[in-house]
Amino acid sequence: MIIDLVTLRSSPYAFKASFTPEEINLESENAELKSPANIEGTLSKRIVQADVDGEISAVVNIECSRCLQMVDNNLNFPFHASYIAPENLSEAKETELRDADLEIAPFDGQHIDIRELVREQIFLNLPTQVFCSEDCKGLCPKCGANRNLINCNCEEKEIDPRWAALKNLK
């Protein structure tokens, strides 16, 4: 879905869209979209920028941080994004960024691609850690087996060679 700002008659402009997982390719080994991504929001056209506010909901299949099994994670979050034409951006090569500058993206001044906005916002709102369960045992550091599925019986009492000399102090 592309919104053409030139032909946009009313501001704010309310919109609603849904994108299939095939339309929004996350291009990630750790996460993939499992359900349609739904967006509902408003676009406000200003003199030198356009602001988009709304809410996105989707189900993302993401790796467990401990055992690497894929887990469904429901995402539902509000967002705010501002678009500004490149001619209105600062030309200074060294400029200190403020927190508000991180929400500003350049665009051609005429079109805003809502599909790309949804993709970016999903990436920005992916959790940093996801666990398949609270008591996930993770992977064995020796053999790499998933401890939730099998008990590998690897020896856990092996001493780190850097600390082995301290064992003789007793």
Cβ-contact 64, 130 below 8 angstroms: yes
Q: What is the pLDDT of residues 147-159, one digit of tens each?
A: 888 888 776 666 7
Cβ-contact 130, 65 below 8 angstroms: yes
How far, in Å, CA of 129 to CA of 76, rounded? 17
pLDDT over threshold 50, residue 170: yes
Q: What is the pLDDT of residues 67-95, one digit of tens each?
A: 889 999 999 999 988 888 766 555 544 55
Extract the tokens encoding 146. Answer: 């998933």
How far, in Å, CA of 89 to CA of 48, rounded? 10
How far, in Å, CA of 7 to CA of 91, rounded? 29
Give the start-to-end residue ranges of the domains of the chain: 2-135, 137-170
Q: pTM for the whole thing?
A: 0.72
Q: What is the pLDDT of residues 7-32, one digit of tens each?
A: 767 678 888 999 998 888 877 778 88
Q: What is the pLDDT of residue 4?
A: 66
pLDDT over threshold 70, residue 56: yes
